[in-house]
Amino acid sequence: MKKIKPLMLTFFVFFFYVGFLQAREVVLIGDDGYPPYSYQENGKAKGIYVDVIKKVFDKIDGYEVKFKMLPWKRCIDNIKKGKNIAFFPPYYSKARLTWIDFSEPILEEQTIIFGKKTKLAGKKKWPEDFYNSTIGLNDGFNPETMGGKKFSLAVKMGLIKVEEARNNYLNLRKMMKDRIDFYINDKLIDISKFPDIKRGLAVKTNWGYLGFTKKDFEFSSYFNDFKIKFNDALKELKKTSEINNIIESYIK
C-alpha cells in the first residue's frame, strides 16, 4: 500500500497538470459602450452578450474566456488586423465577409428610432417621415445595418444627416440638447436617465454574432477547433431557456 499511494498521487498530479495546460485562454473583445448588451462598468465586462458567451464557454472543453472591452471602432480595427481572435456583437453584412467569419447567430435584436415625444408625433413611415432630420448613430455603426437599405440610401442622397457619438449615453444626451433630432439603436437600451426621450418606430431586425478575424495567423494552431466548438456549444445553449432568462434579467 505504501508503494501504491505515491504512484497514484503521481498519476493524479500528472493528469491534473495536463488538464490545466489544455485550458487555453481565449481573449474576446467587445463593445464597451452598448448597454445592456455589451459594456464596461468599473473595469469589468458586463452585458447580455457577455453573460451568454460565459454560458457558451461553460459547455466548451479546453478553453476559458477572458473579455477585453474597447470602443467599437477599435474592436473593428483589431479584428481587421488580426490582433484578436474574435469580437462581439457585430451584425451580419455582406461587406463584412471580407474580414469576418460570422458565428452561429447569438441574439436577435430590433433597432428602433428614439426621439422626443414632440418630434416623434405623426411619424409613421420609415425613413420617409424622417427626411431633413439629423439622426445619431454610435461610432462605427453602419447606417444600412442599423436602419436598412432605404435609410442608407437617404443618407447617401443627403435626405437625412447622420452624426456619430461614442456610445448610447452621449447620443441620448445630444438628443436631449437638440443637437440631433433622433437616434437609432436597439429597443432595450436604457433611457431611464432621459425622461423626455421616447421609443418610436421599429426600423430593422438584426442578429448579433461573434465575429472571427480572417487574419488568423496568430491563432492558427487552434482557430478552427475553437470556432467549431463555440458554434456547437452555442447551438446547444439556444435549445434551452438560458438565453431568454439572461435577456429578461436586464429588462428594466
Residues 30 and 155 in one domain: no
Q: How many CA atoms lie within 13 A of 157 on its CB side?
A: 11
User: What is the spatial distance between Cα 204 and Cα 38, in angstroms, rounded to a whole number?
Assistant: 19
User: Is 189 contained in some domain?
Assistant: yes
Identify the pLDDT of residue 79.
98
**CATH number of the structural domain spanning residue 154:** 3.40.190.10
- In sequence order, what are the beta bridge partners of 228? none
Among 190, 192, 184, smallest CA distance to 163 is for 184
In a domain, 227, yes or no: yes
Tell me the C-alpha distance between 88 and 77, whole Å.
13
- Dist CA 116 CA 118 (whole Å): 5
DSSP β-ladder status, 38-41 and 100-102: unpaired
Work out the average pLDDT over 117-144.
96
pTM of the model: 0.79
Q: Is residue 1 part of a domain?
A: no
**Mean pLDDT rounded to a whole number for the chain:** 92
Q: Is pLDDT at 31 greater than 60 in this prediction?
A: yes
Taking residues 191-219, what's their average pLDDT? 95
List the domain range (segments joined by +) for residue 38: 11-106+209-250
**DSSP symbols for 162-231:** EEEESSHHHHHHHHHTTSSSEEEEETTS--TT-TTEEEEEEEEEEEE--EEES--GGGTTTHHHHHHHHH
Average pLDDT, integer, range 148-153:
97
- Residue 90, SS3 per DSSP: coil
Same domain, 141 and 84: no
Instruction: Please report whether residue 237 resides in a domain.
Output: yes
Distance, in Å, from the CA atom of 76 to the CA atom of 71, rounded to the nearest integer, reads 9
Q: What is the pLDDT of residue 18?
A: 45
Q: 35-66, pLDDT tens digit by residue?
A: 999 999 999 999 999 999 999 999 999 999 99
Q: Are residues 87 and 125 in the same domain?
A: no
**Residue 155 and residue 134 share a domain:** yes
pLDDT of residue 77: 97
Asked if residue 199 is part of any domain, the answer here is: yes
Residues 126 and 196 in one domain: yes
> How many whole angstroms separate alpha carbon 212 and alpha carbon 189?
25
pLDDT band at 125 (very low <50, low <70, confident <90, very high): very high
In a domain, 37, yes or no: yes
pLDDT above 70: residue 69: yes
pLDDT recorded at residue 16: 47
* Domain annotation covers residue 171: yes
Q: Are residues 146 and 178 in the same domain?
A: yes
The number of domains in the chain is 2
- Domain membership of residue 172 (yes or no) is yes
The answer to whether residues 157 and 175 belong to one domain is yes
Return the percentage of the chain with pLDDT > 70, whole number: 91
**Same domain, residue pair 42 and 78:** yes
In terms of domains, do 115 and 230 share one?
no
Confidence of residue 127 (pLDDT cuts 50, 70, 90): very high
pLDDT (mean) for 118-124:
96
